[in-house]
Structure 1
Amino acid sequence: MLKLIYTENSFYLECSTMSLEEWVGQRVILALRLSQNLCVAPSTASFLLPVDLPGIEALKAEAKRADSEIIDLSVCDPEYLEVTLRGSWLSDGAEDADGVFVTMMSDRTEFFLHKLWQAAQACASVISE
């Protein structure tokens, strides 16, 4: 399962071995016990990856082979590839952008995507320093 955790200024991508159903179930139980609002809705999430990252071609091939209904990859300009995922958005229902997006794909695609995102973050931090 992939979790994209959105905050006010950024997001973080996390890979988990827990099943989507199990994680959502635990999150629902936690919200009930804490008397918190929890909204779960089908949604999409998008983010950018540099097209020159090693492994991008392998991700494209794996996404076409195994997960074409969950992930879309499209070149948005000469430097970046847009990754769009279909899954579920969990939030407290407020209009702000804080929440968690979850989706499930093949383990291999999740692994590629997570590693590429980590590599893109490492490149971005080197550039900003």
Structure 2
Amino acid sequence: MLKLTYTENNFNLERLDESLEKWVNIRVTLAIRSNTPIHLESSSASFLLAGEYVPQVFNLEQENRVELYRCDEDLVEVVLEGLWLTSDPESEVGIFVTNLEESTELLFEQMQQNLQLCHT
């Protein structure tokens, strides 16, 4: 499962070994027990990858629920379908989760880590 965390100033992508269903159930249970609002909806999310990765991710469009859009010669936007979780439905802060093939999740995680290393 891929987990994309969107905050006011940051974005984080990580791969989790838990199933999406188990992870969502834990989050809902936690929200109920802590009396915290939770909003869940089917949605799409996007993130940017360096354009140099286009050849590696080109075949992913056919194999997964992945869409790619070239922003410019340096960046590619990756769009995924999944589930959006937030405490405020009007907020752009929240967590997006999706299930893809394990190899695809690992590839995205590695690419995102490489992109972050280039910007530090």
Query: Which residue number corresponds to residue 100 of structure 1?
Result: 95
CA positional deviation for 1:94: 4.6
2:114 to 88, 112, 119: 119
DSSP 3-state at the match of 1:18: coil
Deviation per residue, 1:22-81 (Å, 9 max, x gap): 00000000001001110000111111111124xx422222x13420xx211121211111
- SS, match of residue 52 in structure 2: coil
- Is 12-21 or 70-79 further displaced after alignment? 70-79
What's the RMSD between the two structures over aligned residues? 1.2
> How far is the alpha carbon of 1:93 from its aligned partner?
2.1
State TM-score, norm by structure 2. 0.93
Letter in 1 for 2:84: W
Shift of 1:10: 1.1
What is the aligned partner in structure 2 of residue 11 from structure 1? 11
SS of 1:36 mapped into structure 2: coil
For structure 1, the residue ranges without an aligned partner over 5 or more in a row are none
- In structure 2, the residue matched to 1:71 is 66
The equivalences for 1:86-97 within 5 A come to 86-97=81-92
Counterpart of 1:83 in structure 2 is: 78
Q: Identity, % of aligned pairs?
A: 38
